[in-house]
Chains A and B, each alone.
Chain A
Amino acid sequence: MSPAITVRDLTKRFDKVHALTDGRLTVERGEIHALLGANGCGKSTLSKIVAGAYAPTSGTVLIDGKEVSFRSPRDAEQMGIALFYQELSLIPKMSVEANIFLRREPRNGLGFIDRDRMRAETLKLLEMFKEAVGDDIRPDALVADLTPGQRQIVEILKVYAKEPRIVIMDEATAALDGRQVKVFFDILRKKREEGVSTIFISHRLDEVFEICDHATIMRNGAVVAETTIADTTPEHVVHMMVGDVKKAPKRQLRDEDDKAPLLKLDAVGSAQLDNVSLSVAPGEIVGLGGLQGQGQSTLLRSLFGALPITSGEVLLNNEPVSIRKPADAVHRKIAYVSGDRGPDAALPGRSIFENLAAAILVSERRKLVRAKELQPQLAGVASAFKTKYARMTDAIGTLSGGNQQKIFIARWLATNPQLILLDDPTKGIDLAAKADLFALIRGLADSGVAVLLYSSEESELLDNCDRIAVFNDGAIVTELSGAEMDSFHLTRAAYGEA
Chain B
Amino acid sequence: MSETSSNMNSENARLRLAAILREPVVLALFAIIILLGIGEAVSPGFARGDQIIKLLTVAALLGFAAAGQNLVVLAGGEGIDLSVGAMISLGAVIAGNVMDGSNGGIIPAVIVASGVTFLIGMVNGLGVNLIRIPPLVMTLGMTSVIQGGLVVFSRGIPSGNAAPALMNFINQPVVFGIPGILFIWLVLIIGMVFMLRATAFGLSIYAVGANPQAARLVGLPVKAIRTIVFGLSGALAGLTGVFVIGYTGNSFISVGDQYMLPSIIAVVIGGTSLAGGSGGYIGTVAGAIALILLQSVLTTLHLEFWGRQLIFGGTLLLLLMFYGRQKSARI
Contacts and interface: CB of A to CB of B under 8 A. Distances in A.
B199 interface: yes
Contacts of A325: 216, 219
B214 interface: yes
A440 interface: no
A48 to B, nearest CB: 9
A326 B207 contact: no
B330 A53 contact: yes
Which of B201, B211, B216, B273 has the most A CB atoms < 10 Å from its CB?
B211
B218 A348 contact: no
A380 interface: no
A16 B12 contact: yes
B199 A358 contact: no
B197 to A, nearest CB: 8
A93 interface: no
A350 B206 contact: yes
B210 interface: yes
A347 B220 contact: no
Contacts of B199: 367-369
Interface in A8-53: 15-16, 53
A315 interface: no
A329 to B, nearest CB: 7
Interface residues of B, number: 30
Would you call the interface of chain B mostly helix, strand, loop, or mixed?
helix
Given A344-B214, A349-B210, A354-B206, A369 B219 contact: no
Contacts of A68: none
Contact of A344 (B16, B202, B213): B213
A195 interface: no
Interface string A334-354: 001010000111111110001
Interface string A346-374: 11111000100111011100111101000
Contacts, number: 94
Contacts of A343: 211, 213-214
Interface in A286-307: 304, 306
B277 interface: yes
Interface residues of A, number: 38
Contacts of B16: 15
Nearest to B277: A349
Contact of B216 (A54, A326, A348, A366): A326
A330 B218 CA distance: 7
A108 interface: no
Given A366-B200, A368-B199, A347 B331 contact: no
Contacts of B206: 347, 350, 354
A348 B210 contact: yes
A325 B218 CA distance: 10
Contacts of B15: 15-16
B278 A329 contact: no
A354 B207 contact: yes
B8 to A, nearest CB: 10
Nearest to B16: A15
Contact of A358 (B207, B221, B273, B277): B207
Contacts of A336: 217
A183 interface: no
Nearest to B273: A349
A411 B203 CA distance: 15
Question: Which of B199, B207, B211, B214: most chain A CB closer than 10 A?
Answer: B214
B163 to A, nearest CB: 35
A344 B215 CA distance: 8
B157 interface: no
Contact of B207 (A54, A89, A347, A368): A347
A327 interface: yes
Interface string B189-204: 0000000011111111
Interface string A384-412: 00000000000000000000000000010
A363 B220 CA distance: 10
A182 interface: no
Contact of A327 (B12, B202, B220): B220
B92 to A, nearest CB: 33
Given A15-B19, A354-B207, A368 B198 contact: yes
A361 B200 contact: yes
A363 B219 contact: yes
Contacts of A357: 203
Contacts of A347: 206-207, 210-211, 214-215, 277
Contacts of A358: 203, 207, 214-215, 218, 220
8 contacts: A89-B331, A343-B213, A343-B214, A346-B214, A349-B210, A358-B203, A359-B218, A366-B200
Given A72-B330, A362-B219, 20 more contacts: A15-B16, A325-B219, A326-B216, A345-B214, A346-B211, A347-B207, A347-B277, A349-B210, A350-B206, A350-B278, A354-B206, A357-B203, A358-B203, A358-B215, A358-B218, A362-B220, A367-B199, A367-B200, A369-B202, A369-B203
